[in-house]
C-alpha cells in the first residue's frame, strides 16, 4: 500500500493559520481543514438536508468530544470555526488575544 494513499486527514495538511482565521465567523470545511488539537471549536453539520447539530466540540483522534470530555458524539461534523473571544475575534489567534 502506498503511504500517500492514507485517507485520514493530516494535521500537517491544509488548515487555517491563526493569522488567517481573522473572524470567528469563518466556517471551515472538515476534513478539508483540520481544527487545532485540544481546542474547543464550534461545529455543525451543513449538507443537502440543511444546517443542524451546531454545538461546541473538540476533536481527539478521529472522535469529537463535548467540551468537558464527558462523552463523544455519534456523528462527524462537516464544518467548524473558532470560538469568538470577547471582542468577536477568533480565539487562538495571537494577534487578537
Residue 5 lies in a domain: no
Q: Reduce the secondary structure of 10-72 to three states and give it as a string.
A: CCCCCCCCHHHHCECCCCEECCCCCCCCCCCEEEEEEECCEEEEEEEEEEECCEEECCCCCCE
Pick from 62, 53, 64, 56: which is nearest to 82 by CA?
56
Let me know if residue 3 belongs to a domain. no
Q: What is the pLDDT of residue 37?
A: 87
> Which residues form the domain of 68?
21-97
What is the structure's pLDDT at 77?
98
Query: What's the pLDDT band for 80 if we cut at 50, 70, 90?
Result: very high
Within a domain: residue 26? yes
Confidence tier at 59 by pLDDT (50, 70, 90): very high
- Total structural domains within the chain: 1
Give the pLDDT score at 94. Answer: 43
Q: What is the pLDDT of residue 12?
A: 47
* Domain membership flag for residue 15: no
Average model confidence (pLDDT) across the chain: 79
User: Would you say residue 95 has pLDDT above 50?
Assistant: no
Amino acid at each position: 500500500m502506498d503511504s500517500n494513499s492514507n485517507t485520514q486527514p493530516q494535521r500537517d495538511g491544509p488548515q487555517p493559520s491563526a493569522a488567517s482565521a481573522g473572524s470567528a465567523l469563518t466556517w471551515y470545511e472538515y476534513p478539508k481543514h483540520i481544527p487545532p488539537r485540544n481546542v474547543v471549536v464550534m461545529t455543525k453539520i451543513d449538507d443537502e438536508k440543511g444546517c443542524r447539530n451546531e454545538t461546541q466540540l473538540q476533536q481527539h483522534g478521529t472522535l469529537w468530544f463535548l467540551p468537558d470530555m464527558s462523552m463523544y458524539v455519534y456523528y462527524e461534523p462537516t464544518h467548524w470555526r473558532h470560538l469568538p473571544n470577547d471582542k468577536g475575534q477568533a480565539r487562538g489567534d495571537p494577534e487578537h488575544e
